[in-house]
Structures are given as structure tokens and as C-alpha cells.
Amino acid sequence: MSTPTATTDPASAYADVVRDNASLRAFLYGLPGVDQVGADARAAALGGRSIKTDAKKWAVDTAISMIDLTTLEGADTPGKVRSLCAKALQPDPSDLTAPHTAAVCVYGDMVRYAVEALGDSGVGVAAVATAFPSGRASEAVKLADVKDAVDAGASEIDMVIDRGAYLSGRYLDVYDSIVKVKAACGSAHLKVIFETGELATYDNVRRVSWLAMIAGADFIKTSTGKIQPAATPPVTMIMLEAVRDWYAATGRHVGVKPAGGIRTTKDAMKYLVIVNEVAGEDWLDPALFRFGASSLLNDLLLQRQRMSTGRYSGPDYVTVD
């Protein structure tokens, strides 16, 4: 793989790569291919490693602090969003040492309620935008979607790419869309959702990861949670390899967020091992790794209570989201 010289100005370094669609295609297809069998085997091996008992409490608390607590339902109300924010701030009212989650993720019209509830707590407010989850809308509508959420106070924007454009080879269209959304975000961080379950191959996951990073993504995210398969260990591993290699090439950190289908503490531990082994300790931080898995929080809280008391609480001990 030929990459530009390491620089703190990736946009300048990759200017030739995004000169036109043919140049971008040539770059993306020049990236190393992914051996699917090898990737599956390596992810399984990494995920099979255990975490030492004395590190499990740290790992549980770290996983809690990485969660984007989410509600994305047509029946969402201001009251439901406020309730979710209360849980994000204080996940376990019986144990005030439990860390807060990283962010609360809502639809754009719910952002102002989350901002009011969370204040300056340090819990971010993320909004899905750009015609989530399909990504099928005009550019004007997508950018207006982003602007509405940012104006309401969102600190993070989760955009979805046009998978149809990507799969038909219109790579520059996808790149331009991300660049424009990034500009519309202002100071808000941009997470770019690929919907990897629709991209068919691991090669596509690697290529779209690089495309998004060149376009300015602050985070790359597997899925909307609306399509199966959503996040998987091999796909997350390939994205972690991409952000690791991007950092080596540019000196710029990009985060990774697997979303959808991660429900148990055991699953979360597997992902943390993969993060550490593939990208390194820098990514064991909510600033660079998130879980888009609200149901995961309850299992983490139950495991945390067991480690503190020696007993399992019933599943009715924590609130149902």
C-alpha cells in the first residue's frame, strides 16, 4: 500500500487521491485485501482471550463509560428522553461510584430535551442525521438535518452514508457528502455509519473506512442497528486496523463505534481485548471507542453489582430501556 507521508494535514496529503472518482477508486483498490477466513479466525482468537479477575471491574466500568445510550423509536417522547438521560448520568442509583455513559443518542427533534437534561455533565448529546437510517434523501435535506441538530445543541452527529452510491462505485459522491456534513457539523464530532451488513465484503469495510477518514470522519461506526448483521468482531477488527494505520500515516486519531447486537458483558470484554490488541491502549477510552448498545448497560450493571456484593441481582433490578 502506498500512502502519503505522515502529516498533521490529512486533507492536503490526500488531495491527489480525491482529485476525481478514478483516482479515489485506484487508491481504495490499492489498499491491502482482507483474507476473510484469516480475519474471522483472528477475531475469534482475540475474542477468546480472557481478562484477569482483578482487571474485570476496570473493564466493566470502562465499557459503561463507552456506551452511547440510545433511543431511536418513532414513539420517542421528551419524557422518555429525559428518563434515558437520568440513567446515563447515574446508571446505578444504588451505587453512585458507577460511571456515567459517554453520550445519549436521539433523533434530531429530541436533542433539545437531552441538552436540557444533561447540562454540562460531560455526557455528550449525539443525534442521528442525514436521513437516518436509510441515508436516502437529497443533499439539501441531509445538511438541513445536520444543521437542525447542531443548532439544538448536539455535540456529536451520527451520519449514514449512501450505500447505494458506494456499492455502485460512486466513491467521490460518498466522499463529497461526508466532507459537506463534516463542515455542517462545526465543532460537533462526526461519526460516519457504514451499515456494514449491506457492504457485503470485508474489503469494502476496509475501503470505506479509509474513504471516511480521508473525508474527515472523527469516528467510524459499523451500523445503524436497524439492519442485520450489525456489529461483528471481525468487522470491528478491520475498522480498528484502519484507524491504527491511519494514525500511523497521518498522526490523527479516529474513533471506532460498533453498534447493534452487543448485549452482554462477555461480548463487551471480547471487544475490549480486540481494541487493545489491534489498535492499542490509546483506543481504550470513550474518546476513541464507543459501544452503540443500550441493552448492554443493564448486563454490565448486573455484573458490577455481583462483583461488589458477591450476589446476582435479578434482571428486574435495573430499568428496562
Active site residue 257: yes
Catalytic residue among 142, 182, 191, 221: 221
Active site residue 151: no
Catalytic residue among 92, 158, 162, 267: 158
Strands (E), 93-148: 103-107, 124-129
Across the beta sheet with 124-129, what order do the strands follow?
Answer: 68-70, 103-107, 124-129, 156-160, 189-193, 219-221, 255-257
| CA 157 – CA 185 distance, rounded (Å) | 7
Give the count of alpha carbons within 13 A of 223, CB side only.
22
Nearest CA to 224 out of 63, 70, 28 is that of: 70
Contacts with 297 (C-beta within 8 Å, 6 or more apart), sequence order? 64, 67, 69, 87, 91, 101, 318, 321
Residue 160: strand pairing partners: 193
Distance of CA 75 to the CA centre of its chain: 24
The grid coordinates of residue 131 equal 436521513
| CA 103 – CA 66 distance, rounded (Å) | 8
The grid coordinates of residue 99 equal 460511571
Contacts with 168 (C-beta within 8 Å, 6 or more apart), sequence order? none
Active site residue 142: no
Catalytic residue among 257, 267, 270, 299: 257
What secondary structure does DSSP assign to 149-202, as a single string?
HHHTT-SEEEEE--HHHHHTT-HHHHHHHHHHHHHHHTTSEEEEE--GGGT-SH
The grid coordinates of residue 254 equal 479516529
Q: Which residues are catalytic?
A: 158, 221, 257
